[in-house]
């Protein structure tokens, strides 16, 4: 029996209960169908087979979940940070115990390759541990004495929050948003993406089995236009944390405007990897390939634009073509697979539409540019060369295993091209000239920049973008700044003079 066969057998045992019962909402600690009884199907992108039915929640379900979150908030807010820490660590422990189940279900539900998703659960556990350890100090503030007052600051949790997560690496991103909210003392209404509901349900179950009180974490499945909109417009939801497309972020901001809702957006990117001729070209090649073709290219931080100096471009692109054509496309549960299927036919159609767009704009399809296999939503890893930055393939987020190569001559030209999009999430710079690296990164319009490295996430650092790539930052104390309100208290230290009005 091959490793793929073993993984398929194990997956089948994990899916049995979903197939028998479907995925329902989890509100106030209770598993419930949608109030209307409506359901939708979630399908595997591997072969478009039905995995199970899913509750199709709407405004009534969101309202019930929000009421539960509001009722649970005072007790959760007032619980000692040390007690919240214990619960969050138990969640992390149970995530590790179910890591195989989480990985296999995520692969089947999203099409992500097991070689990457096998660590997704462990990264999620790390997120919970990181914020669990910070829960006792979440309210810590500063002491700011003046001549007459002892001024102190503290933080308090903002209240019930809405969290809307995407379908790419949904488990890890759910933990990245929910763990700091819980550590801060907020309660949560979570609406996962409709394309990838399996691991969101597993995660919510784990949280309750770990001892999370009812109502602190509520899960409502559904569509963005129904459940999502009801969540963003609900007056009792104090903030929305959203990961997804920039256009959807703009829509959410409009929907939350009437209730003055705080928003945190992690949105799209058209991120450049800039390779200068003095770089370590072998390492730059490895990093550029990894950051666009891993995770099926379905990641906001992917290096989807290669900016390569013209003096080395021909040789660099030749090596790139050879490597791209050698990437293994296959079943996501096969440990040898490097690229699996795209998430859904809708997304498959979007990504593949750019193959013709590239040709029409005058770019060269140097690798890929076609479907892979007869079933499922597989595409060949694709490389466009001969591109210019005004082409749609250089400006629009394709969100698939598609790289656009653009040549530049000078540092100034590279900077102009790198900054020449509406996005500003990440950038990657490859050079061995330290002064150039410092000069160039200072002028790059991106929230996160790596020099001579791929994206290596360090949890205490700020994560987020500029321009159309987002608002706000995750990570370390920046997460608490979003989920909590600052409070100032001034204590008089003596009998300072108070102005008298109306006194004779």
- Phi, psi dihedrals of residue 50, rounded to the nearest 5°: -75, 130
DSSP 8-state code for residue 406: E
How far CA 267 is from CA of 142, 202, 467, 474, 475, in Å, comes to: 32, 25, 10, 13, 16
266 catalytic? Reply is: yes
Distance of alpha carbon 209 from its chain centroid, rounded? 25
For residue 493, the SS3 value is coil
For residue 194, the SS3 value is coil
Cβ(175)–Cβ(128) below 8 Å: yes
Given 52, 107, 186, 300, the catalytic residue: 300
Cβ(68)–Cβ(28) below 8 Å: yes
Strands 188-191 and 161-164: parallel
Cβ(137)–Cβ(183) below 8 Å: no
The DSSP element (H or E) to which 307 belongs, if any, is strand 305-309
Cβ(303)–Cβ(288) below 8 Å: yes
DSSP 8-state code for residue 224: I
- Between CA 72 and CA 28 the distance in angstroms is 9
Closest to 476 in 3D by CA, of 180, 129, 71, 93: 180
Given 233, 266, 298, 338, the catalytic residue: 266
Find all residues with CB under 8 Å of 33, minimum gap 6, and list them.
24, 25, 39, 55
For the chain, helix, strand, coil in percent to 5 are: 45, 20, 35
Q: Provide long-range contacts, Cβ within 8 A and 24+ apart, for 320-326.
A: 320/285, 320/288, 320/289, 320/367, 320/383, 320/403, 320/405, 321/366, 321/367, 321/383, 323/285, 323/289, 324/289, 324/293, 324/367, 324/368, 324/381, 324/382, 324/383, 324/403, 325/367, 325/368
233 catalytic? Reply is: no
The DSSP element (H or E) to which 25 belongs, if any, is strand 25-27
Closest to 307 in 3D by CA, of 401, 455, 422, 440: 440
DSSP lists the bridge partners of residue 367 as 383
Residues tagged active-site: 266, 300
């Amino acid at each position: 029996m091959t490793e793929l066969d073993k993984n398929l057998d194990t997956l089948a045992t994990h899916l049995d209960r979903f197939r028998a019962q479907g995925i329902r909402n989890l509100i106030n600690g209770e598993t419930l169908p949608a109030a209307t009884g409506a359901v939708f199907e979630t399908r595997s992108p591997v072969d478009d087979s039905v995995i199970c039915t899913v509750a199709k929640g709407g405004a009534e379900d969101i309202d019930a979940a929000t009421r539960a979150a509001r009722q649970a908030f005072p007790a959760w807010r007032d619980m000692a940070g040390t007690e919240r820490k214990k619960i969050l660590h138990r969640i992390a422990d149970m995530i590790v115990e179910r890591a195989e189940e989480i990985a296999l279900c995520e692969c089947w539900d999203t099409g992500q390759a097991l070689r990457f998703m096998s660590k997704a659960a462990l990264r999620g556990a790390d997120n919970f541990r990181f914020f669990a350890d910070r829960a006792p100090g979440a309210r810590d503030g500063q002491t700011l004495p003046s001549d007459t007052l002892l001024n102190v600051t503290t933080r308090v949790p903002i209240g019930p929050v809405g969290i809307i997560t995407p379908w790419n690496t949904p488990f890890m991103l759910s933990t990245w948003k929910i763990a700091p909210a819980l550590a801060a003392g907020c309660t949560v209404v979570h609406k996962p993406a409709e394309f990838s509901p399996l691991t969101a349900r597993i995660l919510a179950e784990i949280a309750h089995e770990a001892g999370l009180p009812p109502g602190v974490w509520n899960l409502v499945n559904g569509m963005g236009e129904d459940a999502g909109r009801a969540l963003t417009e609900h007056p009792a939801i104090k903030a929305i944390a959203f990961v997804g497309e920039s256009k959807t972020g703009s829509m959410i901001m409009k929907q939350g405007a009437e209730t003055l809702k705080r928003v945190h957006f992690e949105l799209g990117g058209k991120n450049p990897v800039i390779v200068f001729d003095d770089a370590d070209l072998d390492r730059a090649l490895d990093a550029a390939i990894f950051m666009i073709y891993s995770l099926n290219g379905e990641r906001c931080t992917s290096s989807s634009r290669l900016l390569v100096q013209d003096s080395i471009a021909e040789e660099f692109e030749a090596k790139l073509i050879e490597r791209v054509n050698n990437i293994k496309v296959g079943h996501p549960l096969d440990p040898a697979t490097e690229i699996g299927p795209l998430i859904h036919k809708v997304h498959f159609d979007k990504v593949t539409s750019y193959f013709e767009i590239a040709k029409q704009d005058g770019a060269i399809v140097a690798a890929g540019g076609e479907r892979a296999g007869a079933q499922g939503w597989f595409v060949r890893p694709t490389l466009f060369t001969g591109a210019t930055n005004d082409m749609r393939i250089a400006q629009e987020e394709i969100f698939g295993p598609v790289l656009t190569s653009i040549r530049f001559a000078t540092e100034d030209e590279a900077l102009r091209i790198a900054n020449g999009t509406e996005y500003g999430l990440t950038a990657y710079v490859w050079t061995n000239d330290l002064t150039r690296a410092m000069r160039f990164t200072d002028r790059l319009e991106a929230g996160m920049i790596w020099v001579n490295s791929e994206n290596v996430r360090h949890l205490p650092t700020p994560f987020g973008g500029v321009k159309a790539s987002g608002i706000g930052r995750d990570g370390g104390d920046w997460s608490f700044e979003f989920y909590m309100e600052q409070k100032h208290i001034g204590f008089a230290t003596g009998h300072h003079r108070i102005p008298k009005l109306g006194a004779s």
